[in-house]
Amino acid sequence: EVQLVESGGGLVQAGGSLRLSCTASGFTFDDYAVGWYRQAPGKEREGVSCFSDSDGYTYYEDSVKGRFTISIDNAKNTVYLQMNSLKPEDTAVYYCAADVTYTGWKIGPDYWGQGTQVTVSS
């Protein structure tokens, strides 16, 4: 059974940092595109960042470029999202998501975590 379990969300002031973690079971990240979506209140879910080792591609949504960094520890089967210079508009529920391909991840990942709340106060 595939499972994704996130941790690391919380409340932070604008300009601060958080690191989200997502540990997978049932598959290994080196065979999948894996990354993060987020959904703010009243808005659609959007892809934030993705890494696909098999496709050789790393994606960042424009508003987080230069502030967020995705990384993977294959030994721990864990993906991280380091979020720096956080802004109130980054407030959302962040979901870890995975798919066999990067294209599939962009269209709609097959696997989702339960989500973790990130709140950035002004």
The pLDDT value recorded for residue 18 is 98
Q: Which residues make Cβ contacts (< 8 Å) with residue 38, sequence separation at least 6?
A: 45, 46, 48, 90, 92, 93, 94, 95, 118
Distance CA 70, CA 26 (A): 21
Q: Which amino acid is at 122?
A: S
The pLDDT value recorded for residue 30 is 79
Distance CA 110, CA 113 (A): 11
Contact 9, 90 (CB under 8 A): no
Q: Scanning the structure block, which residue is given the tokens 């690191």?
A: 19
- Write out pLDDT tens, residues 7-36: 999 999 999 999 999 999 998 887 899 999
The pLDDT value recorded for residue 54 is 80
Q: Is the dihedral of CA 100, 105, 109, 111 positive or negative?
A: positive
Residue numbers in the chain where pLDDT is lower than 70: none
